[in-house]
Structures are given as C-alpha cells and as structure tokens.
Amino acid sequence: MEIFVNSMVLAGAGLLLMALFPVWHLFRDLSRGICRIAWFFLSGLIAFFFLGYIFYAYLFWGRAHHWSDAVVPFIFFFGAIFVFTVCSLSAVTADGVCRLERENVTDPLMGIYNRRYMERCLPLETANARSNGLQLSIMLIDIDHFKRVNDTHGHSVGDQVLRVLARQIKHCVRDFDLVFRYGGEEILILLPNTGGDEALIAAERLRGKVAERQLKITTEDGLLDVALTISLGVSCLAPEAEDWTQLVTRADAALYRAKKAGRNCTVFSTGPDKSAELRLVGAG
C-alpha cells in the first residue's frame, strides 16, 4: 500500500513537471499581451502545485496503511493527468492555429508574405504613419530577364531562384521591414518609419548585394550558379493626402522607368504631384 500511494503522488508530480514544457512552449511563442501573462501565471500555479505534491509526499511518506489513505493521492494523480492533458492539447491546438495563420499569409513558393496579406498591412501602416506623423516608404523589385532563367534552366530551377532570392532579400532588410510577393517575380518591401533617402540607400545596398552574389541552386546535375540583377522602384509616402494604392502606383511607375533605363538600377519617385520626377539613382 505504501509503495502504491507514494508512487501515485510522485507520478503526479512528474506529470505536473512535464506539463510545464508545453506551457513554456506557448509562453515563448506568444507575443506580449494579456494572453501571454495568463499562461505565465498558469505556469506559476503548476510549479506551485508541483511543490505541493513533493511536500505532501515528504509529510506522509510511509504513513499509508489503509485504502482510505489513497484517496488524496488518487485525486492528486488524476488531477495531474488532467492538467498535463489540457496543457498538451492547448499547445498542439495553438501550434495548429499558428501554422494555419502562417500559411494564410505566406506565399507557398517564395516563403514570404503573400499579396493578400500585403493588402491588409499597407492600409494599416499608411494610416499609422499619417496619424503619428511617421514616414513610410516602399520598394518594388523585379528580377531582370527572369524569363531567360526559365527558358535556359527550366521552371524548377526558376522556382528555386525565386525561393533563394527571397531568402537573400529577407536577410538584407531590417527585422521590422515586411517583404511581400507582389506578383510573378515582383517583390514589394514595406519600410515603416523610413524616409525616402533611407529607402534609397537600402535599395542601392540591396541591388548591389544581389548583383555581386551568384545564387547557389541545387539541380539533378549538382550545384548551379545563377547570376541575377534586379531593378527597383522606390516611393515615400507624401505629406499630402495619399493612400497606399497611390504609393504603390508611384513605385510601380519608378520600377517601369528603371527597366526602361537598362535594368539593374534604382529609380525614385519624388512625389505624387505633376511636378514630381522619377529620379534615376543607380545603374549597373
């Protein structure tokens, strides 16, 4: 009897300790807010109950002589099973929800945000910039002569090029910049709290890094080095009344000018009014 009762209490304590792992997994992945605080509080309660189980085992070790002495350890054990089950299911459910959310906003080929999510973010970022007096810029990027890659190496290599380039671009931007697949091989980068001059510097730096590095692509015949250049159109939110669609339209016009200028260059749209210019900043 003593061994049975003691084993139930210790097994319950072990289950509580195991329940902390999915709870801390959730706590780590959640963003700051009331939900994160609630899970932190729950982890504290579980740790408190774990210590209670250990203290109970210490106090009543070797004192169980009748089946009635097993009632409390029995409740402890199945209570620990309940806590472990609920915490584990919560972690699995949260992982599934997060994965679905990521799939809903991520382009499956390039691994960056999709256009649907872009059309959710841009109005919000534009409104935030206006209400708080912040600057906002965007880059619109197109791969130069991408059709040649598909025609020369096939579409499977072309798909890999898009994936590798998207990763390279994500590594070149700041953590709070947002990278979207705009369409085809075009990529849009949203740069919050960033003026035109800063955006131009970032665009030129990105253009140079892409031009100087060959992409390593894995094929059936081994590694393939693919040399690429990109053209960029840059626009900054104007102080005048301008919505996000106009901001994108100006960046698109600047990108078109960059391609007409010979590609591998950056063009900046200086403003939305008729006197504004499309200014060529850098050319390869």
Catalytic residues: 185
Beta carbons within 10 angstroms of residue 182's beta carbon: 21
CB 76 within 8 A of CB 56: yes
CA angle (157 as vertex; 248, 172 as ends), nearest 5:
45
| Strand ranges (E), the chain | 136-143, 178-183, 186-192, 215-219, 222-226, 230-236, 265-269, 278-283
CB 259 within 8 A of CB 274: no
Beta carbons within 10 angstroms of residue 271's beta carbon: 16
Q: What are phi and psi of 230, to 5 degrees?
A: -130, 155
Pair of tokens at residue 70: 């097993």
Whole-number Å distance between alpha carbons of 242 and 164: 34
